[in-house]
Amino acid sequence: MASMDTRKKLIAAAERLFDRHGFTATGMDRLTQAAGMSSRTLYKHAGSKTALMATVLAEREKRFMRRLDVSSVDALFAELEEWVRVEGARGCLFLRAHGETGGETPEVEAVVVAHKEAFRERIAEIVAADIGEDAPALAEQILVLYEGATAAAIYRGQEAVSAARAAAAVLVGRARP
Amino acid sequence: MASMDTRKKLIAAAERLFDRHGFTATGMDRLTQAAGMSSRTLYKHAGSKTALMATVLAEREKRFMRRLDVSSVDALFAELEEWVRVEGARGCLFLRAHGETGGETPEVEAVVVAHKEAFRERIAEIVAADIGEDAPALAEQILVLYEGATAAAIYRGQEAVSAARAAAAVLVGRARP
DNA sequence: GCCATTGTAAAACGATCGTTTTACACTTCA
DNA sequence: TGAAGTGTAAAACGATCGTTTTACAATGGC
């Protein structure tokens, strides 16, 4: 089925442009060109620009969450190092979408909120698996370190991730019975 | 001089709209209305939208840096708590500007880079003042915690700042001779 | 062999973008 | 008194926005 290739090409091109140049700054003509398809085909698959944004974020959520299938905090940050190495560091695309839309676009906002909630729960699970018990306060600290590494890596690169990883090791070590 | 009031009103209105709705999504007509002036006056003072963005960021940098006039890491996060309480949490406006423009607008990029470098140096000074010696690795961790608190507060609120503050206390305590 | 389906190329839609212009009113100080 | 400066209101600029339409070609399953 060629429509699956078309859809994949479209989402990949859209994610790349949204991530590298911003959502609002990326025009649909630029998108059709990058995706190698006519605007008619693009709109048949995407529906609208807003829907495309939501779809891109939903697909990214899957790809991101797949990376979070770990059972220790150190492995969590090792995965983030890998992510930054492979994809570069341009900040959390979900928070960027939230910021660009002012949180006023329901289709986008729903995906962002769902992602952040799933992300938070996954962090709590990883922390619990690592130290052998629930530790909500520690989980919140690890979440902050993760967000901080993601944001700071924009201008500090891998050094930010390494620092977060080292700090997390100290905090987890202290909490382990 | 009335032009100073006009300028202040313009920058205040622009900062508010850019922060709440995003830079690109904020149109100039919306700005003229919010600032209570004609587009002719606005352009006489601002020059262009890009220049206005750079000016807004430069003014925010001053206001932000004034808040960082502290000599302990705990006071640093206490100030951030106050900032979030007063101004709310919509993420770092500098990183958001960088993201929306893809880092491709030199006027904006210059202010962002200058701010982040000044911010990093100030953190290093505060950490050094706190523990009595230079500690670049610890400073990087505190910077990551600060960025993380700023980002996570968007969806976690003050809890993110409290967590960052607690984590920072542990890391600084460990480093203190 | 035919008719959905799925695609392309390109013009055109009205709306809105950032910006400039036109025309006019109010100060303020020489 | 009058010129310079600073402001407003509103129309208009060309460009670009997201989206739809028109006209037509290639494909593949019944």
**Mean pLDDT across B89-112:** 97
* pLDDT tens digits, one per residue of B27-80: 999 999 999 898 999 999 999 999 999 999 999 999 999 999 999 999 999 999
pLDDT, residue A6, reads 80
Burial class of residue A141 in the structure, from the number of CB atoms within 10 Å of its CB (0-12 exposed, 13-18 middle, 19+ buried) = buried
Residue A165 and residue A100 share a domain? yes
> Do A39 and A111 reside in the same domain of the chain?
no
In angstroms, the Cα distances linking A72 to A65, A68, A75 are 15, 10, 5
Residue B37 CA, nucleotide D9 C1', distance (Å): 10
Q: How distant is C1' of D9 from CA of B36, in Å? A: 12
Q: What is the overall mean pLDDT for chain B?
A: 95
Percentage of chain B exceeding pLDDT 70: 98
CA A40 to C1' D25, in angstroms, rounded, equals 15
Q: How far apart are the first and last CA of chain A?
A: 54
Q: List the CATH number of the domain containing A38.
A: 1.10.10.60
pLDDT tens-digit series, residues A18-53: 999 999 999 999 999 999 888 998 998 999 999 999
* pLDDT at residue B1, as a whole number: 42
Torsion of Cα atoms, A156 then A162 then A165 then A166, to 10°: -110
Is residue B96's pLDDT more than 80?
yes
Please tell me whether residues A98 and A169 are part of one structural domain: yes
Name the residue with the least CA to C1' distance from nucleotide D7: B41
Kindly state whether residues A138 and A162 are assigned to the same domain: yes
Q: Does A113 touch chain B (CB under 8 A)?
A: yes
If asked whether residues A79 and A22 sit together in one domain, one would say no
Rounded alpha-carbon distances, angstroms, from residue B85 to B82, B90, B99, B129: 5, 12, 25, 26
What's the confidence (pLDDT) of residue A2? 52
Same domain membership, residue B127 and residue B105: yes
Q: If contacts are CB pairs under 8 Å, which of residues 5-34 in chain A contact chain B?
A: 20-22, 24-25
With beta carbons less than 8 A apart as the criterion, state whether B172 and B130 touch. Answer: yes
Residue whose tokens read 């697909």: A59
* CATH code of the domain covering residue A112: 1.10.357.10
**Same structural domain, A75 and A129:** yes
Instruction: Residue B151: count other Cβ atoms within 10 Å of its Cβ.
Output: 26
What's the pLDDT at A1?
Answer: 42
Same domain, A58 and A25: no
Residues of A in contact with B98 (CB under 8 A): 154
Does position A3 have pLDDT exceeding 70, yes or no? Answer: no
In terms of domains, do B41 and B118 share one?
no
CA distance linking residue A22 with residue A101, whole number of Å? 11
CB A77 within 8 A of CB A130: no
pLDDT at A8: 87
| Whether residue A77 is found in the same domain as residue A159 | yes
Asked if the Cβ of residue B40 lies within 7 A of any atom of strand D, the reply is yes
Shortest alpha-carbon distance between residue B37 and chain A (Å): 24
Chain A residues close to B151, C-beta within 8 Å: 92, 95, 147-148, 150-151
Query: Would you say residue B111 has pLDDT above 90?
Result: yes
User: Residue B155 and residue B132: Cα distance in Å, rounded?
Assistant: 35
**Total number of domains in chain B:** 2
In chain A, the largest separation of any two C-alpha atoms, in whole Å, equals 60
The domain containing residue A96 runs over which residues? 53-175
* B10, B28, B47 - which closes a domain: B47
Domain match, B31 and B86 both? no
> Out of A102, A145, A147, whose CB is closest to B20?
A102
Instruction: Give the per-residue pLDDT at B5.
Output: 77
Distance, CA of B78 to CA of B70 (rounded, Å)? 10
The confidence score (pLDDT) of residue A163 equals 98
Chain A CB contacts of B25 under 8 Å are 24, 100-102
The nucleotide lying nearest A3 (C-alpha to C1') is C6
On whether both B25 and B71 belong to a single domain, the answer is no
On whether the CB atoms of residues A130 and A137 are closer than 8 A, the answer is no
Q: What's the pLDDT score for residue A4?
A: 62
